[in-house]
Structure 1
């Protein structure tokens, strides 16, 4: 089909963001082209993305040589390389998306994942990243661990915009939204202007189906087969219902009157892992107002080419008409004995561990690059 697909997705209230950033992409102009075409309204990053970007190619060689000559240690070099990319991307969005809808034109950068269970350390690094990047359109990514929730509230209270990440369950989504509202109320009490503060709550998708479906396959009943591939989308739809409830409450009305903006749900991990599923399913099935969908470029291009949208024109809502079905599907998982909450808790732990491993790989990559630069 055509980019008309994406235009209709945007018309439905969904902001497409790219789940990728690299210096090569910035230098080549490919990110600028995606923004100018209206295909990308924001960018997310994580340690895995930065590790791959810095390890591949020569785009960072000059910067690494300069850091080596200046005597930078590994931690300083990683911080400099990553924040420089984020700052440049933020400036690109500010230039190409003048006056975008509130919350778009944003670039996310994550705190050191080794701090996922350290509230004070996370707060300190959120402040540091906010200061170093020094752009109003950056999001600081904080994982939605119990310790991270406290850090989210503190960051928001100080006027730091946050991307709350690694959300797998509806309960965790509710806790994140509450942490955001708590932070805004503290900001009001401290006299902080609410207008510049923005936030998203990143609900991960494909990892859930990859975790739940093998359990359903093992159960092997017709009902289990029917529920295969439903867990992630059902959970996202239930989270959206919670979003509507929380951000229409009297408590929220008071904050909105003071200039607050809703914390938009963000659909993350939207690259389909099971080849038997349609490659745009986490786009097609989750169209609704006030959401973000952050996609790997492969998924973005698939959505442009062949997103499965209803015939006709105009906005599409594939979430709110199916909330009751989502609740039935989640209840069906429990009825079959799927340890749903346990699996989601495991996903959070695995997500933190995966990001720590990527961060350590990134440190190793930069250590080697600095060493090579000093001996060249």
Structure 2
């Protein structure tokens, strides 16, 4: 493994994930190599990366030619492209999935974000996509909007694995846990195997720090400068406390006795590679968590700061101190989190619409040949 850093991270209970992939990357067996040689244990699809790749990655051309020749519409073509990529990624992680007792090796895939406030449409889309992919290690992404929480519960109740996204506060994470447990109870009542249901809840830590640091920089005070780079870590520590408390609850013990597995916390880092992205590998260390990084950050693992043990457990007092000091500057973390959630939703819709536009353009180019 790269400099032993990923090995150390895994030994601390943190699973490295790849955040984003495309067809050429998969066909060159690079994900398989990252899995076998570097210990990558999961992958998340990214619509923006797919949109960029469609214009330059020749690996998509044969399928696009077939879709254009058959007169397939944009929505159906997008689904076909997405399904083929996710299947390949699931297959590349299949050995990890089986060797880990189906605890690792998952691939999360996107639903149409325009459905985020429609529970029935989200659940129907999730069920349809899972059937199309037909891989047991595939998860559907559902944003943790108020309607999304209900959709998470209903999907889990149907036995569909869920990656809950856009979690910006410990309170919202608590609601995600509630939705997951509620779904497990529905599944148990329907006679489903709880052991087969996997779930993650993710917080976009790099986005949180970027937004909070920008607000602190605008204040320009020494107190504000002292808090830069601390808010995402504080949030992660509070979320990890919620995770611990969930595992000790009577409700969870009953579900675990029926075969349920804990919902894993996933810290996500996205956007263009920057030098500070890999720093989260040393700062966010806790048992049974995962960290999703862009490819370039993973490939730089030999230059990472070495993880130095659990940084999340028993640090809730420090976390509350950071958020209290953040509030004393005059900023309101809940308000910043609300803006981040709103921006995240708009960003997802824009990315999806751009992806649809790119698919449409590619189909028209090929139909006209």
Q: Scaled by the length of structure 1, what TM-score is found?
A: 0.94
Q: Does 1:327 align with 2:320?
A: yes
Question: SS in structure 2 opposite 1:284?
Answer: helix
* Residue matched to 1:313: none
* Residue matched to 2:15: 15
Runs of 4+ in 1 over 4 A off after TM superposition: 270-275
Return the match for 1:285 from 283, 286, 290.
Answer: 283
1:39-78 paired onto structure 2 within 5 Å: 39-78=39-78
- What are the superposed Cα offsets for residues 36-59 of structure 1, whole Å, 9 maximum, x if unpaired? 103311110132122122233211
Displacement, 1:33? 1.0
Question: SS in structure 1 opposite 2:38?
Answer: coil
Q: Does 1:107 align with 2:100?
A: no
Q: Is the 8 A contact 2:278 2:293 kept in 1?
A: no
Q: Is the 8 A contact 1:210 1:274 kept in 2?
A: no
Q: Is the 8 A contact 1:13 1:291 kept in 2?
A: yes
For residues 97 and 119 of structure 1, do their structure 2 counterparts lie closer, same or farther at Cα, with a shift above 3 Å needed? closer
CA RMSD of aligned residues (A): 1.7
Aligned residues: 369
Cα distance in 2 between the residues matched to 1:273 and 1:137: 27
Cα distance in 1 between the residues matched to 2:75 and 2:280: 36
- What are the superposed Cα offsets for residues 113-171 of structure 1, whole Å, 9 maximum, x if unpaired? 11111111111101111111111100011011001000000000000000001111111
Cα distance in 2 between the residues matched to 1:34 and 1:221: 44
Displacement, 1:101? 4.7
Cα distance in 2 between the residues matched to 1:302 and 1:219: 34
For residues 97 and 149 of structure 1, do their structure 2 counterparts lie closer, same or farther at Cα, with a shift above 3 Å needed? closer
- What are the superposed Cα offsets for residues 17-67 of structure 1, whole Å, 9 maximum, x if unpaired? 100111101111111111110331111013212212223321111100001
For residues 271 and 57 of structure 1, do their structure 2 counterparts lie closer, same or farther at Cα, with a shift above 3 Å needed? closer
- What are the superposed Cα offsets for residues 101-120 of structure 1, whole Å, 9 maximum, x if unpaired? 53311111111011111111
Cα distance in 1 between the residues matched to 2:33 and 2:126: 30
* Residue matched to 1:344: 337
1:205-224 paired onto structure 2 within 5 Å: 205-224=205-224
- Structure 1 gaps of 5+ residues are 311-315
- Structure 2 gaps of 5+ residues are none
* Residue matched to 2:29: 29
* Residue matched to 2:347: 354
1:196-235 paired onto structure 2 within 5 Å: 196-235=196-235
Question: SS in structure 2 opposite 1:327?
Answer: helix
Cα distance in 2 between the residues matched to 1:217 and 1:273: 22
Q: Is the 8 A contact 2:108 2:163 kept in 1?
A: yes
Return the match for 1:368 from 361, 364, 369.
Answer: 361
